[in-house]
Structure 1
Amino acid sequence: MFKNYFKTAWRNLFRNKGFSITNILGLTIGISCTTFILLWVYDELTYDRFQKNYDNIYQVIANRDFNNQVFTDRSMALPLARALENSSPQIKHAVVTTYQQQNVLAYNNKKIKKDGYVVSDHFFDIFTWQFVKGNAATALKDPHSIVLTEDAAKAFFGNEDPINKVLTIDNNQTAKVSAVVKHAPGNSTFQFDWIRPFNYADPGTKQSMNEWINSSWNIFLLTVPQADTALLNKTVTKIKRAHGNDEISSYFVFPMNHWHLYSDFENGKNIGGMIEYVRLFSIIAVIILLIACINFMNLSTARSEKRAKEVGIRKTLGSNRKQLLLQFFCESFILTLIAFALAIVVVILLLPLFNAMVDKHLSLNVMQPVFWVMASGTILFTAFVAGSYPALYLSSFNPVKVLKGTIVAGRKTILPRHVLVTLQFAISILLISATIIVYQQIQHVKGRDMGYNPNGLVMIPSTPDTDKNFAVIRNQLLSSGIITNITRTSSPITEIWWNTGAPDYDGKPANSQIIMGGLATDVDFSKTMNVKMLQGHDFTGTPADSTSMILNKAAVDAMKLKNPVGMQMRYGKTYTVIGVIDNVIMTSPFEPAYPMLMVYENRSSGMNTMRIKAGVPAQKALAFLETVFKKNNPSVPFEYKFVDQEFQKKFLTEKLIGKLTNIFSALAIFICCLGLAGLASFTIEKRFREIGVRKVLGASVQQLLMLISKEFLKLVVIAFVIAMPLTYWLMSNWLDKYNYRITISLWLFFIVGIAMFLLTLIVVSLNTIRVATGSPVKSLRTE
């Protein structure tokens, strides 16, 4: 029986090639887009899930309340991990790690910068990595050991056995390779080339193990299954407060399943994160697939009169409605199956481009069970949704009326089709409008005054050698005429590595706590960065600078200072405010400027920043910089970053969302136009003789075009009325998460509406004009 259904369905589809090709093309594009989105969504949802202890790993986080302004901080004190490990039967292990750091690793003549973490005992008991050589139990026993990834080991040792080979780190210490692990998956929180253990015999580490105020590390816990997180929160807070005056902070444990998708906090409350975009693109995937399904429904019902006699004869010969339903669902299933097969080919061919665009390493592994689950779900969903309305509609025909030729496609049959077309238009208007608003928001923030000029600024990481030879480097660069200014800072101008409370001063309100960013700088900070000095002056290099402080405008406003220059600030020691600079956007460009304090430091730094003279080619400047830095910093490979490029990285998520939205919106609109063209073609075919009669009676081509088009243009107007308020509400909610944001203009919707109106007119006209300009004899000769 089913064989007969499939054979009949196949013949029917093959007989109606135009109908089949239109539907297959629409469904192929829809399924391809859906597959790409599902691959991306699956990668996001499975972040860190390869960890065997995934459900029982937590990070310790603090909410620090500065005068009712809560700052969520992941930086913890070094000794807290050891104290926690013995504090509760719910905690199996507690480890501390540094933030990701970069070191120059050397072996023989090979010197390569690699990223990694310094970690405490039990790191490999909590986090499970696949060992290629060595084992988790002994990998970190020796404080002078190092664990490499496969890629890093190959980079240094080629095909040699790396175990017990000795690497030099930053030209001042050595480490013996104790193990090799597989490289971390792309959807892993930890991305590293090496792992090293803390050396507790090191004087600096010894000192930090007794300091409960200095918070510069991350702490992770492995708990027993179904641990009481509320009790753990109290335990951590109690232990931390017992070892120092930390009444402004409350601590909590944050589960691994929230690290990536729910990473954003505002005023101490979790406000989501990437989960918003996962939901957004999941909805877009469904929408695109539904648009393709709607095409199938519309085209199938539009050609219903051609199938009416077939249904009438089948019913007369004894077919019941169930059998007819199965027949039409078989046609839908075959079309979907063909479209799915073509979509998989498209995905395989375009996946490298998609990976490059989203900066991931997605793969389509047809051997995984999850692929077949997703494939089966997509095929069945598409086949059922696309075929449901045509099957129900066609199988409901009365055989007597059909065979007598009295069946008429009235308002009841046209209305559902109009509703579906209107839905397509509304979705298209929504997607176009949303895409434009996302673009406008990104451009709005890009055009924001950052408080400094990033063009021509080059950053080169500091090392002990560059700090020691800074005076020589400075003189060589400035005397060249290629570099106009140079300074050094504790962190890049594009980041804040130092968060602190505001200093004390006379007249400070009681219980006033403000979270501020800190920056240590050398001379010429404002000149190099082109930051405006609002009051006072910059550091000059005199001995007095060691007790001088500079504030930014946001700090002055937050501290409510009227005449800050000359004021005494108590911050470990007493500083004198010598200047106020304009606000500089160092963190998120979507947020207000951060209150900042700056102190003078001329011995060590984190970053050298210099400005290339206007008109000097970048390649010429970089070649000169490389020569100078290699001469004065020979042990470290030359590395640089342009400030403007680093600043652009702050828009990566928004750019990605905008790019994906652009592509999938364009494809959704293309599918919509494809269906519209097919529907217009069937409408014209149905009114073929009417058009011929009208031409004989003197109707012009323009009149005929408007006759066919007005039916669809009315639907565009209705769709616009539906889509405009819905889009405004959705995008207003999206923009609400940004402090620095655009105002949605109503003109945008009218422009999009007109564009959709014209697009519909063009698509329908292209299908109408052939008939409208043809000879009416062809349509009337059978009358």
Structure 2
Amino acid sequence: MIRNYIKTAWRNLSRNKGFMLVNLLGLSIGISATLLILLWVKDELTYDRFQKHYDDIHMVVANRDFKNRVFTDYNMVLPMARELQQADPLIRNATVTTQNYDLLLHVKETKLRKGGLTVGDHFFDIFSWKFLKGSPAHALSDPSSIVLTASAAKALFGNEDPVNKTIRIVEEKRDARVTAILADPPGNSAFRFDFLTPFNYNDPATKQMMENWVGSSWRVYVQTAPGADIKRVDAVINRVKKQHDPGDKISTYFTFPMKRWHLYDEFKEGKNVGGMIEYVRMFIIVAIIILLIACVNFMNLSTARSEKRSKEVGIRKTLGSGKLRLVLQFFSESMMLVLIAFVVSIGIVLLLLPSFNQLVNKKLELEFGQPVFWLGSLAIIIITGILAGSYPALYLSSFRPVKVLKGVFVSSGKTALPRHILVVFQFMISILLISATIIVYQQIQHIKDRKTGYDAHNLLMITGTEETEKNFAVIKQELLQSRTVTAVTRSSSPITQVWWKSGAPDWNGKPADLNVIISGIRTDLDFTKTMGIRLLQGHDFTGNPADSASILINKAAVEAMGLEHPVGMEMRFGDEKYQVIGVTGNVVMESPFQPVDPMLTFYKPNATGVISLRIADEIPVKKALTSIEAVFKKYNPAYPFEYQFADNEFGQKFISEELISRITNIFAGLAIFICCIGLGGLAAYTVERRFREIGIRKVLGATISQVLLLIGREFLKLVMIAFVIAVPLTWWLMYHWLQKYTYHIHISILVFAAVGVLVLLLALLVVGLNTFRAAMANPVRSLRTE
């Protein structure tokens, strides 16, 4: 029986090659797009799941309640992990790490800058990494040890066995012994590193910080007992911190589980409000929609061919076929077509994966060896086959044999209504997707065009070293004398990042209940000049010794602190006193999507680490870089010349949004393309059904334009209905999406007008091309049998 269904299905499909190819193209593109999206979604949803203790790993986080806002802080004090390790049986293990940082590693003639972490005890007890050489128990037992990833070991040692070999850490002027090699962390890991080193608790500076319960610069992680009461664990963490730091009145500590690190990493006013999960959900919906659009094509084209299949149904029923058998026959056709489309789509995905991986910056692959892949594939085939074949199977099997065999079967307006609804649905979704992508693009451009408060053009940033700090004066002098550079300064952080936050200082007249979070940066002379920061009041640093007790504050600080005449005011951090000498404009150093924090700029030329310089506009950048490199090679020969342009670094803040925008653009384009395929096929069958009518109208004097309008207006009416439904729905969805941004655009009606015209023109083009052939045909051909 099944064999007969398959044989009959194949005969029907092969006899109607045009019908099969149109549907095959639509379904193949739809399934390919769905597979690509699902690969991306799977990668996002499986972040860190390779960790053995995935469900029990937590990061310790603090909500710091400043009056102007609640700041969620991932930075903890260094000794916290040691105390939590012994604090409660519910905490199995606790460890501390630095944030990721770069070191210059030197082996023989090879010098490479690699990123890594310094980690505390129990790091390998909590986190699971694949050891290629060495063991977790002894890898970091020696303070002079270093653990490398496989790729880092290959880059530094080539094909040599690196274990027990020595690496020179240039910045720290010490040697480290390689004790283990790890497999590279997976792409969907929260941790990215090339090396790991242990804390040296015998080092005097580390010993001092282990007694410091105020300075927060480290990440603390805990592994809880399975099924532990998290509220109790949070209470333990708060108790431990407050016992050692009673003055910490503004902080509430809590555990943030690993399962939420990647997808739910956004906090607003101390509340976890989401993150990447929003885009994951959005793309799951997009995948479903694209597949639905492809299925709708099949439904429409199958029902449009109903007149051709009606006699077949009538004969089958007359010969004793029941409705169930007919339904199964039509389902077998849809399943066979979907199966072929799936095979084609696998080829398409394999072809496109390298480009798609480059687009999304991942290493996605089809896991043919995993049972999950085949189960998922089977589910896609069955679901798509059922969706695509359900309406045609039920509709075609419902024909009454008496009518169709008498030749009185007529496709009425009532039978065409479902097809019209499906066409409206297709174009409604396409209009929604296209409009949404334009609005997302406009929002990104709006934020990019936001005034940053500094001039990023030709602004170069170079990480400082001990040698550049020692030789800074002569480096600056030679750069300025070369006329390649117009200004040079140095600061404690790049202009694109904030590395220091604190509570606001004290001043006379400060309200008792005011506790404002501020950002801070230490700078040298010519900071505002080099960065192009506007000075609103007062004056800049002059280089006099008195400047060490002077600060600049930004406009946001003036507003947050409620200061009327800030210049000349005294501000105090404990025993340290500073005088405000000037007010600068606001500078966007952190997220361009959020308001600028109050900022204090200190004159601390010997506590800096980033050199910034502005290249002269009239000098070609390539020539300027050659000249600048020569100066740095002269005074900093041990380090390679490495730099970043400020505008490129600022652009990194838009990576997620631009990625989502590009992906959405591609799949919105695919959606409208699939719609056009279906519309083209539907128009072709409509023209075929009305071929004789068109011939009669031409004989009676109808022009080509009148024939085009006759066929086209039916479809254009459907596109207009789709437009009317899609516009308010899109506006509502995108309005709520924009509310998550402090700075956002206002949705313009022109966006919808442009999209409406575009979709209308596409529909006209598709329908027109299919109608034009019939309109140009000699009417004798269609009327010769009449």
TM over 0.5, shorter chain? yes
Deviations 1:497-518 (A, max 9, x none): 1111111100111121111111
- Residue of structure 1 in register with 2:199 after alignment: 198
Separation of aligned partners in 2, 1:469 and 1:368: 58
How far has the Cα of 1:635 moved from its partner?
Answer: 1.6
Separation of aligned partners in 2, 1:352 and 1:367: 19
How far has the Cα of 1:563 moved from its partner?
Answer: 0.8
Separation of aligned partners in 1, 2:447 and 2:382: 44
Query: In structure 1, the residue corresponding to 2:197 is in which secondary structure?
Result: strand
Structure 1 segment 105-116 matched on structure 2, within 5 A: 105-116=105-116
Q: Indicate if the aligned counterparts of 1:130 and 1:181 stay in contact, CA closer than 8 A.
A: yes
Question: Structure 1 vs Structure 2: percent identity of aligned residues?
Answer: 60
Query: In structure 1, the residue corresponding to 2:589 is in which secondary structure?
Result: coil
Deviations 1:649-668 (A, max 9, x none): 11111111110011000011
- The one-letter code matched in structure 2 to 1:636 is Y
Separation of aligned partners in 2, 1:160 and 1:753: 63
- Residue of structure 2 in register with 1:298 after alignment: 300
Separation of aligned partners in 1, 2:627 and 2:202: 42
Question: Which of 655, 668, 671 lines up with 2:671 in the alignment?
Answer: 668
Q: Indicate if the aligned counterparts of 2:491 and 2:605 stay in contact, CA closer than 8 A.
A: no
Query: In structure 2, the residue corresponding to 1:704 is in which secondary structure?
Result: helix
- Residue of structure 1 in register with 2:499 after alignment: 497
Separation of aligned partners in 2, 1:309 and 1:27: 27
Q: Indicate if the aligned counterparts of 1:464 and 1:604 stay in contact, CA closer than 8 A.
A: no
- Residue of structure 2 in register with 1:36 after alignment: 36
Deviations 1:99-139 (A, max 9, x none): 00100111122111010000001100100100011000010
Call closer, same or farther: CA 1:480–1:736 in 2, change over 3 Å: same
Separation of aligned partners in 2, 1:485 and 1:373: 62
Separation of aligned partners in 2, 1:512 and 1:684: 75
How far has the Cα of 1:747 moved from its partner?
Answer: 2.2
Separation of aligned partners in 2, 1:229 and 1:643: 42
How far has the Cα of 1:633 moved from its partner?
Answer: 1.2
Separation of aligned partners in 1, 2:84 and 2:542: 46
Deviations 1:59-88 (A, max 9, x none): 000000001610000000001111111111
How far has the Cα of 1:412 moved from its partner?
Answer: 2.2
Query: In structure 1, the residue corresponding to 2:217 is in which secondary structure?
Result: strand
Structure 2 unpaired stretches of 5+: none
How far has the Cα of 1:540 moved from its partner?
Answer: 1.9
Separation of aligned partners in 2, 1:634 and 1:139: 33
Q: Indicate if the aligned counterparts of 1:473 and 1:628 stay in contact, CA closer than 8 A.
A: yes
The question of 1:230 aligning with 2:234 is answered no
Separation of aligned partners in 2, 1:376 and 1:491: 53
Which runs of 4 or more aligned residues in structure 1 lie more than 4 Å from their structure 2 counterparts after TM superposition?
Answer: none
The question of 1:735 aligning with 2:738 is answered yes
Structure 1 unpaired stretches of 5+: none
Aligned length: 783
Structure 1 segment 632-647 matched on structure 2, within 5 A: 632-647=635-650
Separation of aligned partners in 1, 2:649 and 2:115: 18
How far has the Cα of 1:519 moved from its partner?
Answer: 0.5
The question of 1:529 aligning with 2:531 is answered yes
Question: Which of 598, 601, 613 lines up with 1:598 in the alignment?
Answer: 601
- The one-letter code matched in structure 1 to 2:631 is V
How far has the Cα of 1:751 moved from its partner?
Answer: 2.1
Deviations 1:348-398 (A, max 9, x none): 111000011111111112111121122111111111100000001001111
Question: Which of 424, 427, 430 lines up with 2:426 in the alignment?
Answer: 424
- Residue of structure 2 in register with 1:207 after alignment: 208
The question of 1:159 aligning with 2:159 is answered yes
- Residue of structure 1 in register with 2:770 after alignment: 767
- Residue of structure 2 in register with 1:267 after alignment: 269
Separation of aligned partners in 2, 1:593 and 1:73: 17
Separation of aligned partners in 1, 2:367 and 2:257: 29
Q: Indicate if the aligned counterparts of 1:482 and 1:612 stay in contact, CA closer than 8 A.
A: yes
The question of 1:691 aligning with 2:694 is answered yes
Deviations 1:730-753 (A, max 9, x none): 101111110010000122212211
- The one-letter code matched in structure 2 to 1:193 is D
How far has the Cα of 1:606 moved from its partner?
Answer: 2.2
Separation of aligned partners in 2, 1:159 and 1:769: 67
- Residue of structure 1 in register with 2:633 after alignment: 630
Q: Indicate if the aligned counterparts of 1:489 and 1:606 stay in contact, CA closer than 8 A.
A: yes
Q: Indicate if the aligned counterparts of 1:552 and 1:583 stay in contact, CA closer than 8 A.
A: yes
- Residue of structure 2 in register with 1:129 after alignment: 129
How far has the Cα of 1:603 moved from its partner?
Answer: 1.2
Separation of aligned partners in 2, 1:494 and 1:124: 34
- The one-letter code matched in structure 1 to 2:233 is L
How far has the Cα of 1:564 moved from its partner?
Answer: 0.5
Query: In structure 2, the residue corresponding to 1:188 is in which secondary structure?
Result: coil
Separation of aligned partners in 1, 2:524 and 2:306: 79
- Residue of structure 2 in register with 1:435 after alignment: 437
- The one-letter code matched in structure 1 to 2:364 is L
- The one-letter code matched in structure 2 to 1:50 is F
The question of 1:276 aligning with 2:287 is answered no
Separation of aligned partners in 1, 2:721 and 2:157: 68
With the length of structure 1 as denominator, give the TM-score of the two structures: 0.99
Q: Indicate if the aligned counterparts of 1:467 and 1:604 stay in contact, CA closer than 8 A.
A: no
How far has the Cα of 1:630 moved from its partner?
Answer: 1.5
Separation of aligned partners in 2, 1:362 and 1:198: 35
- The one-letter code matched in structure 2 to 1:782 is T
- Residue of structure 2 in register with 1:369 after alignment: 371
Structure 1 segment 29-68 matched on structure 2, within 5 A: 29-67=29-67
Q: Indicate if the aligned counterparts of 2:105 and 2:170 stay in contact, CA closer than 8 A.
A: yes
- The one-letter code matched in structure 2 to 1:756 is V
Q: Indicate if the aligned counterparts of 2:101 and 2:117 stay in contact, CA closer than 8 A.
A: yes
Query: In structure 2, the residue corresponding to 1:484 is in which secondary structure?
Result: strand
Q: Bigger shift: 747-756 or 538-547? A: 747-756
- Residue of structure 2 in register with 1:478 after alignment: 480
The question of 1:452 aligning with 2:454 is answered yes
Query: In structure 1, the residue corresponding to 2:743 is in which secondary structure?
Result: coil
Deviations 1:593-613 (A, max 9, x none): 221111111113221110000
Query: In structure 2, the residue corresponding to 1:76 is in which secondary structure?
Result: coil
Query: In structure 1, the residue corresponding to 2:612 is in which secondary structure?
Result: strand
- The one-letter code matched in structure 2 to 1:433 is S
Q: Indicate if the aligned counterparts of 1:536 and 1:579 stay in contact, CA closer than 8 A.
A: yes
Q: Indicate if the aligned counterparts of 2:68 and 2:560 stay in contact, CA closer than 8 A.
A: no
How far has the Cα of 1:537 moved from its partner?
Answer: 1.5
Q: Indicate if the aligned counterparts of 2:149 and 2:184 stay in contact, CA closer than 8 A.
A: yes
- Residue of structure 1 in register with 2:681 after alignment: 678
Deviations 1:692-721 (A, max 9, x none): 111111111111111101111111111111
The question of 1:650 aligning with 2:653 is answered yes
